[in-house]
Amino acid sequence: MKIIFLGTASSISTKERDNTSLLICEPKNRELILIDCPGSLVSKLKRLNLNYTKLNKIVITHHHPDHIYGLVSLIHSQYKLNKKLTIFSSNFSIRIIKKLLGLFNLTSKNYPRTSFIDVFSRKYFFKNLDLKISAFKNKHCPGSFGINIIYKNKNIIYSSDTALTKNVEKLIDKNTYLIHDCTASSRFFKKYPLLYNLHTEAKQLKELAFRTKPKLLIPIHFLLLRKGEFKNIKEDLKEVKNVFFPEDFSSLYIR
């Protein structure tokens, strides 16, 4: 299976990077699962030669605009084209998503019939023969969570937006592909220390990688406001051996 990085920027997109979202493509069971929904999903899926009307499973890790604003447009685009949609989220975010869909009247007939699953209501909120996905609480905002994907004994963790937390750390082992919040460099956080309450900086992530030794570290959710900021992030992480910096539309293959 593969994970496609549809976006890799934080709340402020750049010329090259849209806000963070991920697409899980598992061909054997024909599974397509979207993790967070900013930007134009229709355009992105078309670029990947994927049918946007078949996208019917969406995980929303929290309700911040950069993770949710594309949802109304996606559902609007599926008018009469998709019958059923499942949204996996926390109860806190589900309440907000329902309000959002109501505001645009996207719950009326001809739009996909949307059902909501509380990710904390069961051990695996999604499960098929090869893929199991569970949620864990992270440290970001009310109702926010990260996800743990188990695929054929491989362990993939997506922290979503989060400050450093033991909840993520205790799940990591040497077989883990760790996709982690790396909003900015250590230098940037020191200038704006409030960021420490919500996000992770590159040197914290380096230390986390040293402590837990994941198979591959994949930093994501970059806030690139200053010239040279991406270079500073890479510099902070240069001692980590197994690191992959995704660009928009990069793929991570899990075999």
Angle between helices 91-103 and 70-77 (to 10 degrees): 60
| Choices 58-66, 147-155, 179-187, 228-236; region in contact with Zn ion by CB under 5 A | 58-66
Is residue 206 a contact point for Zn ion (CB under 5 A)? no
CB of 72 to Zn ion, least distance (A): 18
CB of 83 to Zn ion, least distance (A): 30
CB of 66 to Zn ion, least distance (A): 4
Q: Is 181 helix (H, G, I), strand (E, B) or coil?
A: strand
Strands 131-137 and 126-127: antiparallel
Is residue 181 a contact point for Zn ion (CB under 5 A)? no
- Tell me how far apart the alpha carbons of residues 69 and 214 are, in angstroms, rounded to a whole number: 32
Q: Specify the amino acid at residue 62.
A: H
Is residue 36 a contact point for Zn ion (CB under 5 A)? no
Q: Which phi and psi angles does 137 have, rounded to 5°?
A: -70, 135
Q: Looking at 26, 66, 201, 236, which residue binds Zn ion (CB under 5 A)?
A: 66
Q: Looking at 18, 26, 36, 161, which residue binds Zn ion (CB under 5 A)?
A: 161
| Nearest to Zn ion of 161, 236 (CB atom) | 161
| Nearest to Zn ion of 18, 66 (CB atom) | 66
Label residue 59 exposed, middle or buried (CB < 10 Å: 0-12, 13-18, 19+). Answer: buried
Q: Applying CB under 5 A, what is the total number of residues that bind Zn ion?
A: 3
Is residue 64 a contact point for Zn ion (CB under 5 A)? yes
- Tell me how far apart the alpha carbons of residues 6 and 148 are, in angstroms, rounded to a whole number: 19
| Choices 48-56, 59-67, 80-88, 224-232; region in contact with Zn ion by CB under 5 A | 59-67
> Do 247 and 34 form a contact (C-beta atoms < 8 A)?
no
Is residue 248 a contact point for Zn ion (CB under 5 A)? no
Which of 33, 97, 10 is CA-nearest to residue 62? Answer: 97
| Nearest to Zn ion of 37, 156 (CB atom) | 37
Instruction: Give how far Cα 27 sits from Cα of 50, 57, 125, Å.
Output: 12, 15, 20
Is residue 180 a contact point for Zn ion (CB under 5 A)? no
CB of 28 to Zn ion, least distance (A): 31
Is residue 139 a contact point for Zn ion (CB under 5 A)? no
Chain contacts with Zn ion (rule: CB under 5 A)? 64, 66, 161
